[in-house]
Amino acid sequence: MSKHYTRMGLLRRFLKGCGLIFAMAIFSSVAVSALEMVPQQIIRVVVDYCLGGDPSQLPALVLAWLESSGGREYVLSHLWAAAVLLIAVAGAAAIFRYLYTYLTTRGTEKMVKNGRNLLFEHIESLPYDWHMQNSTGDIIQRCTSDVNTLRDFVSEQLIQVIRIAVLILFTVICMALLNLRLSLIAILSVPLLLFFSYIFYHKIGHLFLQCDENEGVLSTITQENLTGVRVVRAFGRESFERERFRRQNNIYTDAWMRLCRLLAVYWGSSDLLVGIQIMLVVTVGSVFAVRGWISVGSLIAFVSYDNMLLWPVRRLGRMLSEMSKAGVSLDRLCYIMNSEPEHSDGTLEPPMNGDIHFDHVSFGYEKEEEILHDVTLTVGAGQTVGILGTTGSGKSTLMHLLSRLYVPDSGSITIGGIPLEQIRLPWLRSHIGMVLQEPYLFSRTLGENIGIARDADMDEIRYAAKIADLDETVSHFSRGYETIVGERGVTLSGGQKQRTAIARTIVEHAPIMVFDDSLSAVDAETDARIRASLAKAGKDATVILISHRISTLMAVDRIYVMDKGRIVEEGTHEELIRKPGLYQHIYEIQSAVGEEEMEAPDGTEEEKGGED
């Protein structure tokens, strides 16, 4: 079982290694808060002692020090010293504020780096069916937008909690020392502001979740259209896709507008409460000053402290609203991190050149209706076996089970007599070369795509390309193997992409090679040349050919015919064409009509692609 993350658990995991940086940032913020208390006291002393205030309300130690320094006249003639002191305090506060900002930014960026690495590593470990159930756009949105939301919360809100707590504590103490009754009036508004913020906390979280989910849908639409741009244009569906994007964009924008309206009400109402509180403090404080209950200098300092009190209180309110957003983002990230990774208890690294045996294997996706029903077949070591069947008969599913992208519901699969679940997964997959009908190519050079399975040199890449009947085609490209193939190989024709994938598998030197209808986009002549080259180059390998073409399978050692998830026929080509059945029926159709008319020829496209 993988570790189950809670919100705080995941946040702590992201913050791993950032403790010292944030500790120094918190110390700097506390220093700033303490220094911000000093200017008001300096102004209070100057006003009450020098400018007609009530010196008797000054602390006894301060008053004694002023008298011993030369009295009122001396202090008046040296007011520049107070200005210098104010500048020094402001300078020290600026230094600590810089340190706080720098350290917080450094810490949060390190946190984001940790988080992205952790998320990517975990996503890479998730099983194949998880990726089939979750859209790419939504996963990307969670790993970018939600991580950024978390970063903003930590950098702008969470790390300031201690500073805010210290600032509130210092401010309340200073206000109480100046005038206790006026302090009680000022503090009475604090619980009201916090309760007001708490009410909006849940509403903001609900609306932000809607915004986040709709952004994920919008990202998915964008990602699908960018990767499928050729399909969209081929069918002239630009207008339809633009309208689809506009509709989702409107939904996303409306969700944000609802959130913004709620935030506007929240901030406008809190500003009103703060304004009423300040008015109340100034009015009552003025009455107290007239009656001599507080000096003018103390009232000026008190009003300044009151403003300093309201800022952190409002900041705490903002933290509640931002915490709601961060909570939603953490939940969405926890969904990824709490998804069960691909598990295998296998520890063996056996030779992979043994017989492959499927023993009464049954399987269904999502535990729904079975795709494979009690399939039993054997591929002998070093043999070339063909699998023929109608669309949806389960041919590709067999290969997914062989590489343990999925696990059979019943039955077993062995290689050399060893069950797949006992074999270490990386070992298993590194020894099975698989070429799919629609191969995925990365937006890199042609040479990098061929050599991606391992660190192959150019000689190995060219050798593999020759076997795949690709080297001569590449020689006509202006940049040869340095040609950028574009995202998903968009600059190559279908046949060129399939042959690139074949070359990539050959470079891997895998003892088991699976070709899943991977010659469907090339003409029959090219198909024959590639199969002949493969027979020579991979004579010791176990090869499984999945194809709709009888001609592709005619020379294999044994053919299995599948229909509706079952093995309905098996034998050599000569045996199967002599007995009535599905294979004979397909053979007669392809022989009568002509295979090259049944398949879309690729020869006219072969030389057009490849330019970046």
Q: How far apart are CA 238 and CA 244, in angstroms?
A: 10
| Closest-CA residue to 560 (of 414, 375, 359) | 375
Give kind and range of the element (H or E) at residue 196: helix 189-227
Task: For 466-499, write each residue's pLDDT tens digit.
Answer: 888 888 888 888 888 888 876 666 677 777 888 8
Question: Lowest-confidence range among 47-56, 214-223, 252-261, 340-349?
Answer: 47-56
Q: What is the pLDDT of residue 411?
A: 92
565 token code pair: 């998830």
Q: Which DSSP state fits 522?
A: S
The token duo for 18 is: 């950032």
Backbone angles phi, psi at 419, to 5 degrees: -60, 145
pLDDT at site 610: 43
How far, rounded to the nearest angstrom, does the alpha carbon of residue 201 sit from its chain's CA centroid?
26
What are the pLDDT digits (tens) for 338-392? 998 887 778 888 988 889 999 999 998 876 678 899 999 999 998 889 999 877 8
Region 392-396: mean pLDDT is: 84
Q: What architecture does CATH give domain 349-431+511-603?
A: 3-Layer(aba) Sandwich (3.40)
* CA–CA separation, 396 and 517 (whole Å): 9
Residue pLDDT, tens place only, 300-339: 878 887 877 777 776 666 676 677 778 888 888 999 999 9
Range name among 287-301, 332-346, 546-560 with the lowest pLDDT average: 287-301
Between 455 and 408, the more confident residue is 408
**What is the CATH architecture of 7-337?**
Up-down Bundle (1.20)
**Is the distance from CB of 551 to CB of 532 less than 8 angstroms?**
no
What is the H or E stretch that residue 583 is in? helix 582-593
Q: How is residue 392 annotated by DSSP?
A: T
Query: What pLDDT, on the 0 to 100 scale, is given for residue 598?
Result: 42
d(CA 471, CA 500): 10
Range in 15-19, 476-480, 526-530 the model is least confident about? 526-530
In this predicted model, what pLDDT tens digit does every residue of 354-365 receive, in sequence order? 899 999 999 988
Rounded to two decimals, the pTM is: 0.67
Beta carbons of 505 and 565 less than 8 angstroms apart: no
Distance CA 421, CA 77 (A): 90
Residue 161 has pLDDT above 50, yes or no: yes
- 544 vs 55, residue with greater confidence: 544
- For residue 168, which of 30, 47, 324 has the smallest C-alpha distance? 30
pLDDT recorded at residue 603: 42
Query: What's the distance, CA 34 to chain centroid?
Result: 40
| Average of per-residue pLDDT across 437-445 | 79
**Which is higher by pLDDT, 89 or 274?**
89
CA dihedral (61, 64, 68, 72) positive or negative: positive
Mean residue pLDDT of the chain comes to 81
Fold of 439-509: Rossmann fold (3.40.50)
Statement: residue 2 has pLDDT above 70: no
Q: How far is CA 382 from CA 206, 391, 513, 556, in A?
A: 60, 27, 10, 11
Domain borders along the chain are: 7-337, 349-431+511-603, 439-509
Judge if 7-337 and 349-431+511-603 fold alike in CATH terms: no
pLDDT value at position 201? 66
61's enclosing H/E stretch is helix 60-68
The stretch 135-164 carries a mean pLDDT of: 81
